Amino acid sequence: MTVPVLEVDRLVVDVLVEGEPRTVLHEVSLSLGEGEALGLVGESGSGKSMTARAVARLLPPGARTSGTIRYGGHDVRTLKGGALRDYRGDVALVFQDPRAHVNPVRRIGDFMTEALRTLHGVDKHTAAKRAAAALADVGIADGERRLEQYPHELSGGLLQRVVIATMLLTEPKLLLADEPTTALDVTTQAEVMAILDELRQERGMALLFITHDLDLAGAVCDRTAVMYAGQIVETRESAKLHEDPLHPYTAALVTARPAVDRAVDRLAAIPGRSVSAFEAPDGCPFAPRCPHAVDACHQERPPAEYVDGGLVRCIRADELRGRLAEEVAFHD
Amino acid sequence: MTIAASVLDGVRTRRRRVAGNTVVVWVCAAIVGLALLLAVFGPALAPHDPDAADLTYANVGPVAGHPLGFDSQGRDLLSRLLAGARTSMAGPALVVVLAMAGGTVLAVVSAWAGRWIDATLSAVMDVLFAFPAVLLAVLAAAVFGPGLTAPTLVLALAYTPYVARVLRGAALRERAQPYIAACEVQGLSAFTICLRHLVPNIAPMMAAQGTLLFGYAMVDFAAISFMGLGVQPPTSDWGVMVSTGQPGVLQGYPAESLTAGLCIVVVVVAVNLLGERLSQRSEGR
Amino acid sequence: MTAVAVRPAGHRSGRATGVARFVARRLVMLVATLFTSSFVIFGALYLAPGDAVSTLSGSRTLSPQAVAALREQYHLDDPFLARYFQWLGDTLLHGDLGTSITYREDVSSVIAARMGVTFQLVLYAALIIVVVGVGLGLLSGLRGGVVDTSILVVTTVFAAVPSFVAATVLLSAFAVGLGWFPAVGTGEGLAGTLWHLTLPAVALALASLAIVSRITRVAVRTELGREHVQTAISRGIPYPALVRRHVLRNASIPVTTVVGITIASLFGMSAVVEQTFGLGGLGSALVEASLARDVAVVQGVALVFVTAFVVVNTLVDVAYAVLDPRVKAGSRAS
């Protein structure tokens, strides 16, 4: 693997909930090479968005972190002032709901060129030209007209493409995409994903792609990390995750996904309810819902272990390996 | 200062305020409770006859047995303030009761009936809303003559659209709840559903609105009495006392005006804070 | 290049049409409201117990000629609606609002003579509200900490101080006690006017500026917490630009609305302040006329006040439509 662009090591995050510190991320480790795409998959509350926020330095006020987030030789957690702004220029974010993330009272052109003009000193005319060109890159032909419009005049899919084009203007090295297609309808979803994938490959950006959709992550990303209760329980090559899962939770995710209709809640088949990190019991957080749990699973948190080129947090990973693969195969 | 730091500061102060808030709320509740007690028992508690004037004591400061001294007519100031509590709060209280009753009925009818009834009522409310309450009260006083009846009725009328607007929103949200539909399916009459289910469920918001409204009503009512169009002297009333003390203010004896003004401000501050707290609660924050 | 220049222009005019349609709608509402208000103001006279002549004369005993003149002037022998339209016609076409029985002159000249003071007072108070109220709110919302807490405490108290109490305190402290400002009357020239109107304007503005400050604070805080502000932070936009371009620009929408509504309501409250400071404006005329039951003057002044109130409120809505690009015709009414 190439030199990692981003390296997160045993990241722990506590946030304030009603004034009380609550752990939302527990020893999250991941790394992302140049031009590589990593999927981060989990249910809501599993901590996948919080991971992106920690990387982007957008944690809620009062949050405390430990561990390291390494980018370009610095620990992101300690960046300040100009260095922090430079870092933010290198890292771009695309969120789930473009409508909420674009200022509704400013024109599209203003939104797109804001960073170029305030940070890079590009003049208005040049900035507008580049914005229109960026819009063309994401398949929006009448860019000049769009620049004069307001966000509410654009559809959600169009606006998300505008956001993506905007992020590309500053030529970021790392793109964090937090469920960028969830709020869009199915056909638009496919278009937006195709654009993201194409741009990543063309420009050699690293992509951290956050989704609750295991298949979607597999389609776009080289590797996928599965999160549960604030921990990464398994990180593997995306293809292997489907055929040969190492963690029972991954296997459950694979079998729980409906074979034909994707709109159905795919996690309904896993017994019990998903928990957040601070609600997790002692031992393996998935143990109460796990069909393979033994007494030892309830005793202590499983450490992350290397198995077959991937990382897994399950004390029975080795003995279950074949059986989980059979379960998955039987489902398909 | 970075934005994160400023947001952080905001959160810190908010937390501190949450801790201090309960104390503030209790103090406010105590003040409002005391004011209500005074409204009932104030006249009986007055140590002297609030109307007994002795001009030899005009504008005399505190002496034994008269802790606040005397007003420009030589009447005991403390007694007048205590006696004035009732008139100062009874009128506004009646205004609130009337406006809340009218506003609630309009809001529920509007939300329940929907369609053209709702549209018509909303349009009428919008036009009524365009009338400043005090101006309407002055107009009424000009026509009916000074006194308590006209300002009470007129302020109630002027506040009704305000109440109706706020409660209509709450009633509409409640109307859309599945349990209301369930009641309808069971064949309960609209009146029964509104009375037994809808109104009790918007009651917290009504309590909050009523409390906030009482603050406005006290200020507006006192202003009307101050202008000489409401409560008439020599009846002791805080608004009237601020007005009758004016000559004293110019002569350097501001005690009557200032103590009466202070009474109004203290009660209104307490009522406002309590109302804000209630409305935060009713919105589930 | 021409295409680039022309198309946006075309689009801007599209938005302009939307705003124009919104303004047109508001103007129709304005006329409807004024019409209704004038009806209420006119009709109130006939709600009074007893006959209209005794109401119009303020229960004074009049000579038969004077009674006849009143009946003639108010067309009392005509049906009610005919009277209303006569009155409205006189008001609109001739500026004729009848004759005052206490001042013994045309109501329109009474109003004309007193209008200046009231509008100066309201303008001065409005200026204080905008500068001090919005200023404190921004400071409180952006700074946080001790500054925020102190401003919050002070504005909580100020918001509960009725203008006549504020007037009394200011009069007692700064006019009688310290002697810095005059207690009564209006001054000569700009400096004199400002000097005389400062205490009344502060008294009139006090509660409103507290409310405006609190609303501004909340608006700033709300905008700071919005997702699009997070986006801007994540893009590395510097703090001053962030505050100016996103927080202040967006917060200006609710703040403008509240400032406008607050200023509109100052007209009603001017009566109290004018009375305390002995200013011969419209407000004190309204109170004097009410006490003397001089109905024609009350009607005339009430009409001026309601018109000012409704016009300012309409202007607020128009400002809202201009500031917020999301406003389309009618979208705000519901």
- Strand pairing category for A64-71 and A4-17: antiparallel
Is A73 in CB contact (< 8 Å) with chain B?
no
- How near does any CA of chain A get to the CA of C112, in Å? 42
Q: What are phi and psi of A234, to 5 degrees?
A: -160, 135
Q: Where along chain A do the CATH 3.40.50.300 domains lie?
A: 32-57+78-221
- Beta-carbon contacts of A142 under 8 Å, excluding residues fewer than 6 positions away, are none
Of A19, A62, A81, the CB nearest to B8: A62
At C15 the pLDDT is 63
Question: By the CB < 8 Å criterion, does C102 face chain B?
Answer: no
Helix runs in A17-103, H state only: 48-56, 81-90, 98-101
Q: Compare CB distances from A118 to C4, C12, C237 and report the shortest one's residue.
A: C237
Query: How far apart, in whole angstroms, are the C-alpha atoms of residue C208 and residue C197?
Result: 17
Cβ neighbours of C250 in A, within 8 Å: 103-105
* Interface touch C172/B257, C-beta < 8 Å: yes
For residue B271 the two structure tokens come to: 């009522």
| Residues B7, A61: C-beta atoms closer than 8 Å | yes
Q: Indicate yes or no: CB of C160 within 8 angstroms of CB of B269.
A: yes
Q: Total structural domains in chain C?
A: 1
Q: Give the other-Cβ count within 10 Å of A185's Cβ.
A: 11
Check whether B100 has a pLDDT greater than 80. yes
Give start and end residues of each alpha helix (H) in chain A: 48-56, 81-90, 98-101, 108-119, 124-137, 143-147, 156-169, 186-203, 214-220, 238-243, 248-256, 317-331
- Measured at the CA of C39, the angle between CA C35 and CA C42, to 5 degrees, comes to 135
Closest residue of A to B285, CA-based?
A18
Say which residue the tokens 């995409």 belong to.
A177
Locate the chain C residue with the closest alpha carbon to B3: C239
At B5 the three-state DSSP class reads: helix
B208–C contact, CB cutoff 8 A: no
Nearest-CA distance C44 → chain B (Å): 7
Residue C75, in any domain of the structure: no
Q: Give, for A4, the enclosing helix (H) or strand (E).
A: strand A4-17
Which chain A residue is nearest to residue C14, measuring alpha carbons? Answer: A149
Residues of A in contact with B11 (CB under 8 A): 16, 61-62
Question: Is 90 exceeded by the pLDDT of residue C127?
Answer: yes
Question: Nearest-CA distance from B227 to chain C in Å?
Answer: 7
B31: left (phi over 0), alpha (psi -120 to 50) or beta: alpha
Q: Where are the beta strands (DSSP E) in C5-146?
A: none
3-state secondary structure of A103: coil
B18: chain A residues, CB-CB within 8 Å: 19
CB-based contact, A62 to chain B, within 8 Å: yes
**Is A94 within 8 Å of A180 (Cβ atoms)?**
yes
Query: pTM, whole model, 2 decimals?
Result: 0.80
Rounded Cα distance between A141 and A133, Å, is 9
Average pLDDT along chain B: 79
Compare B160 and B252 and report the one with higher pLDDT.
B160
CA–CA dist A223, C62 (Å, integer): 100
Which residues are CB-neighbours of A273 under 8 A, at least 6 positions away?
A: none
More confidently predicted of C301 and A257 = C301
Query: Are B10 and A61 in contact (CB < 8 Å)?
Result: yes
C101 token code pair: 């029985």
In a domain, C61, yes or no: no
User: Residues 153..192 of B with a Cβ closer than 8 Å to C: which?
Assistant: none
Q: How far is A137 from chain C (nearest CA, A)?
A: 18
Please tell me the distance from the alpha carbon of residue C269 to that of residue B89, in angstroms, as a whole number.
Answer: 21
User: In this complex, is the C-beta atom of B1 within 8 Å of any C-beta atom belonging to chain C?
Assistant: yes
- pLDDT, mean of residues C217-244: 87
Contact map slice: C 72-111 vs A, CB within 8 A: none
Structure tokens at B141: 């006083």
pLDDT surpassing 90 at residue B247: no
Does C231 sit within 8 Å of A93, measured CB to CB? Answer: yes
Least confident span in A147-161, B181-195, C28-42: B181-195
Q: For residues C296 and C58, what is the distance between their CA atoms, to the nearest angstrom?
A: 10
Nearest to A118 among C3, C15, C238 (CB): C238
Q: For residue C35, is it within any domain?
A: no
Instruction: Show the domain range for C281.
Output: 114-333
Say yes or no to pLDDT of C126 above 90. yes
- As a whole number of angstroms, the distance between CA C247 and CA B174 comes to 33
A91 in Cβ contact with A55 (< 8 Å): yes
Give the pLDDT of residue A2. Answer: 60
The separation between CA C186 and the C-alpha centre of its own chain, rounded to angstroms, equals 21
Q: What is the pLDDT of residues C59-92, one digit of tens each?
A: 677 778 877 777 777 777 777 788 888 878 877 7
* C-beta atoms of B18 and A19 within 8 A: yes
CA nearest to B19 within chain A: A19
Q: Which residues of C touch A95 (CB under 8 A)?
A: 227, 231
Sheet order of strands, A4-17 included: A20-33, A4-17, A64-71, A74-75
Interface test with A, best of C228, C242, C253, C255 (most A CBs within 10 A): C228
Q: For residue A257, what pLDDT is reported?
A: 66
Q: Decide: B250 and C172 in contact? Cβ < 8 Å.
A: no
Could you give the CA distance from residue C266 to residue C122 in angstroms, rounded to a whole number? 6
Tell me the shortest Cα–Cα distance from B7 to chain A, in angstroms: 7
In a domain, C81, yes or no: no
Name the nearest CA neighbour of B213 among B155, B127, B130, B258: B155
Q: Do B15 and A19 touch (CB under 8 A)?
A: yes
CATH code (residue C145): 1.10.3720.10
C238 lies within 8 A of chain B by CB: no
Query: Which residues on neighbouring strands pair with residue A28, listed in sequence order?
Result: A11
Torsion of the alpha carbons at A37, A42, A44 and A45, rounded to the nearest 10: -100
The pLDDT-based confidence of B186 (bands split at 50, 70, 90) is confident
Distance (Å, rounded) from C-alpha C272 to C-alpha C118?
12
**Among C residues 214-233, those touching chain B with beta carbons less than 8 Å apart:** 221, 224-225, 229, 233
B133/C contact by beta carbon, under 8 A: yes
Instruction: For residues B134 and B117, give the distance between their C-alpha atoms in angstroms, rounded to a whole number.
Output: 29
Q: What is the mean pLDDT of each run of 10 residues along chain A (332 residues)?
A: 79 85 87 88 86 88 87 85 85 87 89 86 89 86 88 87 87 88 79 84 88 86 89 87 84 71 50 75 84 84 83 84 74 57
Q: Using 50, 70 and 90 to split pLDDT, how confident is the model at B284?
A: low
Rounded CA-CA distance C106/C112 in Å is 10
CA-to-CA distance for B135 and C37, rounded, in angstroms? Answer: 11
DSSP label at C244?
Answer: I
Run of H or E residues at B116: helix B115-129
**Is residue C241 in a domain?**
yes
Provide, as residue numbers in chain A, all residues whose Cβ is less than 8 Å from the Cβ of B7. 61
Check CB contact of C285 with chain B, cutoff 8 Å.
no
Q: B11 and chain A: CB distance < 8 Å anywhere? A: yes
The nearest alpha carbon in chain A to C247 belongs to A103
| Other CB atoms within 10 A of residue A156 CB | 16
- What's the confidence (pLDDT) of residue B10? 39
For residue A89, which residues of chain C lie inside 8 Å, CB to CB? 235-236
pLDDT at C3 over 50: no
- pLDDT tens track for A204-241: 888 999 988 888 888 888 889 999 888 888 898 888 88
- Average pLDDT for B36-46: 81
Distance from CA of B141 to the nearest CA of C (A): 6
Q: In the prediction, which pLDDT does C59 show? A: 65
Residue B166 has pLDDT above 70, yes or no: yes
What does the alpha-carbon distance between residue C193 and residue C197 come to, in Å, rounded to a whole number?
6
Q: Which of A267, A290, A286, A265 is nearest to A275 (CA)?
A: A286
Instruction: Answer yes or no: do B142 and C271 touch at CB < 8 A.
Output: no
Q: What are phi and psi of A3, to 5 degrees?
A: -65, 130
User: Alpha-carbon distance C267 to C245, whole Å?
Assistant: 34
B-chain residues near A81 (CB < 8 A): 2
> Does the model's ipTM exceed the 0.85 cut?
no
Q: Enumerate domains of chain B plus CATH numbers.
A: 85-282 (1.10.3720.10)
Q: Can you state the angle between helices B255-282 and B77-113, rounded to 10 degrees?
A: 30
**Per-position b or e across B10-40, b if 16+ CB within 10 A of its CB:** bbebbeeeeeeeeebbeebeebbeebeebbe
Fold topology of A32-57+78-221: Rossmann fold (3.40.50)
For B272, list phi and psi in degrees, rounded to 5. Answer: -60, -45
Rounded CA-CA distance A220/A216 in Å is 6
CB of B102 less than 8 A from some CB of C? no
For residues C37 and C301, is the Cβ–Cβ distance under 8 A? no
**CA-wise closest residue to A312 among A302, A325, A298, A301:** A302
Strand partners, A178: A210
Confidence check: pLDDT of C17 > 80:
no
**For the ranges A243-257, C47-61, C190-204, C313-327, which has the lowest average pLDDT?**
C47-61
Q: Which of residues 243-282 of C touch A (CB under 8 A)?
A: 245-246, 249-250, 253
**How far away is chain A from the Cα of C55, in angstroms, using its nearest Cα?**
54
Q: Do B49 and B79 meet the contact criterion of CB atoms below 8 Å apart?
A: yes
Q: Do the Cβ atoms of A119 and C236 come within 8 Å?
A: yes
CA distance A91 to C236: 9
Kindly list the residues from chain C whose CB atom is less than 8 angstroms away from the CB atom of residue B140: 44
- Which tokens go with C214? 């609190």
